Each structure stands twice: as structure tokens, then as C-alpha cells.
Copies of this chain bind each other. A is one copy, B any other.
């Protein structure tokens, strides 16, 4: 790797990782290795980080890049002396914001991912528990409490999407797998009919579904292209006939599916 990218933060580093990742994807040609250094919250730790950065500067053909979200001004000063390109998130944004908002910032550590209050924490955990107990059609009784109910054939991405919705947005997300039994019965299971407004379909191309299922059960009927085609075609017809909004998950990530669903339902995004 030609260059080392350091992600330095005084807490989890989640913000700076997300930001750096997005920015670096705009430099496809830059070959780099990323090193995350969270919880850098003392002078001593910053000095150790500076040493690591300087070692990379001496070793690598290209100069290191340092994304930092450290808040404390003294620690930021101590980091700035390293032999790397330091992109300090607060240095970059706070002056622009202070000017625009005409308010001074507080430069206080650990605000972003701290627990705010117990009821907020509880409602997030409730959403997670609801989602776990309504995964894969497991519990069909308390469906009236669901914010969304995802439908799709096996391996179309329902479970990861539901968990993401619960964990990140406190959304109570149930899911129900469309199977051959439903095909044989010819429609939406009866118990789902009252919840038409909460339903959302996930679809996928038969080719991708075949590849995903093959990883799991190679050479099975379940993973055969014919079976995938049959199930997907049926599910898509169902979504169309019942006017269930749906999304094709073939080329998009769990994050994108989740945000598309929130967007579609106009659910408020209580972001955690």
C-alpha cells in the first residue's frame, strides 16, 4: 500500500470513519491502508499516535493522511505536529459554522454517541426486541405494532434490513418470507391483509438470488436458477397486484434499502 490513512478520534471514531470512507471513495486511484485509532483522549495517547504517523511517513512511499475528529483544542494542537496531512474535522467545519450561525461552539468531548436519556435508549431497544421476535414470520400476533413489514423470498435481504432499521432508526420492522406455500395458496397470507399499509416488498434478480443461495446450499433445488426465477416472478406479481411498494435489492446495500424504506413511508428518522 502506497499510503496510510489514519482515522483518529477521542471517542468511537464512527463519524470520522464514515466521513473518511465517503471522501476516499472519490479517490479510487489512491491505494491506501486504513488504521482506526479510537479513544485518543489524552496527551500521552496523542503523542503515541504522532509517533505511529511519523513512522508511516518515513516508511511509506506516499505521505500519510490523518482524518481527525478530536474535540479538545490542546489535543488537536498536539496531533497537528505530525508528518502527515491532517484533516481535522472541527478545524475545517467549526469556523464555517460559527460564522454562519453567529454562535460560538462548545468544543466538548463525547457528545455525539452518548446515551441521552433512558426512555430514548429503551425505545431503541424495544424496536430491536420487536424486530427480533418478528423475524422471518416468527410471531404474527403483534403485527399491528409494526412500523413496517417486509415481504420477500428467502435471501432477498429482509433480516439485515429489519435489524438495520431497528438499530439505527428505532423502527419496529417485522418481516415475512414468501414461500412456495404462499404461492400454492395463491396470494398474501390472510393475517397480513389488515396490514396492507405497512407492507413493503424486497425483490432481487433471479441471477443474484441464485448466487446468494448457492453460497448457502450449493446444487440444491432451492438455489437453482429455475426455482429463483419462479419465486421472484411470483413475488413481483404479488407486489404489483396488491399495490405493495417494493425495491430491487440486487445492487444496493443494506443501508440503502433501509433508507429507501424510511423515505417511502415518511418515517421520522430518529437517528442513533
Contact = CB atoms under 8 A, between A and B. Distances in A.
A129 B132 CA distance: 12
A27 B93 contact: no
Interface residues on A, range: 35 or more
A12 B247 CA distance: 14
Interface in A215-245: 215
Contact of A93 (B23, B100, B111): B23
A65 interface: yes
A22 B29 CA distance: 29
- One complex includes copies of this chain to the number of 2
A11 interface: yes
Interface in A79-102: 85, 87, 89-90, 92-94, 96-97, 100-101
Interface in A222-272: 251-256, 258-260, 263, 269, 271-272
A269 B215 CA distance: 24
Interface of A: 3, 11-15, 17-19, 21-23, 25-30, 36, 38-39, 62-63, 65, 69, 71, 85, 87, 89-90, 92-94, 96-97, 100-101, 103, 105-108, 111-115, 118-119, 121-122, 124-125, 128-129, 132, 135, 159-160, 163-164, 167, 208, 211-212, 215, 251-256, 258-260, 263, 269, 271-272
